[in-house]
Protein backbone atom coordinates (compact mmCIF):
# COMPACT_ATOMS: atom_id res chain seq x y z
CA UNK A 1 0.00 0.00 0.00
CA UNK A 2 2.78 2.46 0.84
CA UNK A 3 4.50 1.79 -2.49
CA UNK A 4 1.30 2.83 -4.29
CA UNK A 5 1.15 6.06 -2.30
CA UNK A 6 4.82 6.77 -2.97
CA UNK A 7 4.32 6.16 -6.69
CA UNK A 8 1.33 8.51 -6.81
CA UNK A 9 3.19 11.22 -4.93
CA UNK A 10 6.27 10.84 -7.11
CA UNK A 11 4.18 11.26 -10.25
CA UNK A 12 2.00 14.10 -9.04
CA UNK A 13 3.96 16.53 -6.88
CA UNK A 14 6.00 18.51 -9.36
CA UNK A 15 4.92 17.13 -12.73
CA UNK A 16 1.77 18.35 -14.46
CA UNK A 17 1.41 15.30 -16.72
CA UNK A 18 2.80 12.57 -14.47
CA UNK A 19 6.11 12.56 -16.33
CA UNK A 20 8.34 15.51 -16.98
CA UNK A 21 7.38 17.03 -20.34
CA UNK A 22 9.90 19.38 -21.94
CA UNK A 23 9.32 22.06 -24.56
CA UNK A 24 10.70 21.69 -28.10
CA UNK A 25 13.83 23.51 -26.93
CA UNK A 26 14.34 21.01 -24.08
CA UNK A 27 13.29 23.39 -21.30
CA UNK A 28 10.73 22.74 -18.59
CA UNK A 29 7.27 23.68 -19.85
CA UNK A 30 5.23 26.50 -18.30
CA UNK A 31 2.63 24.00 -17.09
CA UNK A 32 5.33 21.97 -15.34
CA UNK A 33 6.77 25.14 -13.78
CA UNK A 34 3.31 26.00 -12.44
CA UNK A 35 3.01 22.49 -11.02
CA UNK A 36 6.40 22.82 -9.32
CA UNK A 37 5.41 26.18 -7.79
CA UNK A 38 2.05 24.81 -6.65
CA UNK A 39 3.71 21.78 -5.04
CA UNK A 40 6.22 23.98 -3.20
CA UNK A 41 3.44 26.34 -2.04
CA UNK A 42 1.30 23.41 -0.84
CA UNK A 43 4.21 21.99 1.17
CA UNK A 44 4.90 25.36 2.82
CA UNK A 45 1.21 26.04 3.57
CA UNK A 46 0.42 22.64 5.06
CA UNK A 47 0.06 22.97 8.82
CA UNK A 48 -1.02 20.06 10.99
CA UNK A 49 -2.70 21.42 14.07
CA UNK A 50 -4.13 19.72 17.15
CA UNK A 51 -7.59 19.49 15.61
CA UNK A 52 -6.25 17.59 12.58
CA UNK A 53 -4.32 15.21 14.79
CA UNK A 54 -7.38 14.57 16.94
CA UNK A 55 -9.53 14.07 13.85
CA UNK A 56 -7.01 11.64 12.35
CA UNK A 57 -6.86 9.69 15.61
CA UNK A 58 -10.50 8.70 15.18
CA UNK A 59 -13.21 7.93 17.66
CA UNK A 60 -12.39 6.96 21.22
CA UNK A 61 -14.82 4.80 23.13
CA UNK A 62 -16.19 6.43 26.25
CA UNK A 63 -15.64 4.48 29.45
CA UNK A 64 -18.11 4.75 32.30
CA UNK A 65 -16.54 6.22 35.43
CA UNK A 66 -16.84 4.36 38.68
CA UNK A 67 -19.03 5.81 41.42
CA UNK A 68 -16.03 6.04 43.74
CA UNK A 69 -14.32 8.49 41.41
CA UNK A 70 -17.36 10.76 41.28
CA UNK A 71 -17.68 10.98 45.10
CA UNK A 72 -14.35 12.72 45.46
CA UNK A 73 -15.74 15.87 43.89
CA UNK A 74 -18.52 16.62 46.34
CA UNK A 75 -20.27 19.94 46.71
CA UNK A 76 -19.86 21.24 50.28
CA UNK A 77 -23.02 23.33 49.99
CA UNK A 78 -25.02 20.28 48.97
CA UNK A 79 -23.53 18.32 51.87
CA UNK A 80 -24.57 21.05 54.34
CA UNK A 81 -28.09 21.19 52.92
CA UNK A 82 -28.38 17.40 53.11
CA UNK A 83 -27.46 17.51 56.82
CA UNK A 84 -30.04 20.23 57.44
CA UNK A 85 -32.71 18.26 55.60
CA UNK A 86 -31.87 15.12 57.56
CA UNK A 87 -32.10 16.92 60.92
CA UNK A 88 -35.32 18.70 60.00
CA UNK A 89 -36.97 15.35 59.27
CA UNK A 90 -35.58 13.38 62.22
CA UNK A 91 -35.55 16.17 64.86
CA UNK A 92 -38.10 18.84 63.92
CA UNK A 93 -37.76 20.74 67.24
CA UNK A 94 -33.99 21.14 66.93
CA UNK A 95 -33.99 21.95 63.20
CA UNK A 96 -34.49 25.68 63.74
CA UNK A 97 -31.54 25.97 66.11
CA UNK A 98 -29.23 23.85 63.91
CA UNK A 99 -29.82 25.75 60.71
CA UNK A 100 -27.06 28.27 61.46
CA UNK A 101 -24.65 26.09 63.45
CA UNK A 102 -23.99 23.38 60.84
Where are the domains positioned within the chain? 2-57, 67-98
Neighbouring C-alpha atoms within 13 Å toward the C-beta of 89: 5
Q: Residue 3's pLDDT is what?
A: 76
How many alpha carbons lie under 13 Å from residue 78 in its C-beta half-sphere?
4
Q: What is the pLDDT of residues 37-67, one digit of tens each?
A: 887 777 676 666 777 777 878 888 888 877 6
Say if residue 67 is exposed, middle or buried (CB neighbours under 10 Å; 0-12, 13-18, 19+): exposed
Percent of the chain whose predicted confidence (pLDDT) is above 90: 0
pLDDT at site 13: 60
Residue 32 is predicted with a pLDDT of: 78
User: Residue 74's closest CA among 63, 65, 82, 62?
Assistant: 82
> Would you state the pLDDT for residue 15?
62
Q: pLDDT category, 33, cuts 50, 70, 90?
A: confident
> Which residues 6+ apart lie within 8 Å of 46 measured at CB?
none
CB 80 within 8 A of CB 102: yes
Task: Give the pLDDT confidence score for residue 18 in this predicted structure.
Answer: 63
Residues 29, 2, 56: CA angle, nearest 5 degrees:
100
Q: Quote the pLDDT of residue 92.
A: 67
Amino acid sequence: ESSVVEELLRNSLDKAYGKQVLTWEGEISAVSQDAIRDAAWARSETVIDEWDEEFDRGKVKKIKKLKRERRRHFNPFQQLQSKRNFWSVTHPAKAASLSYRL
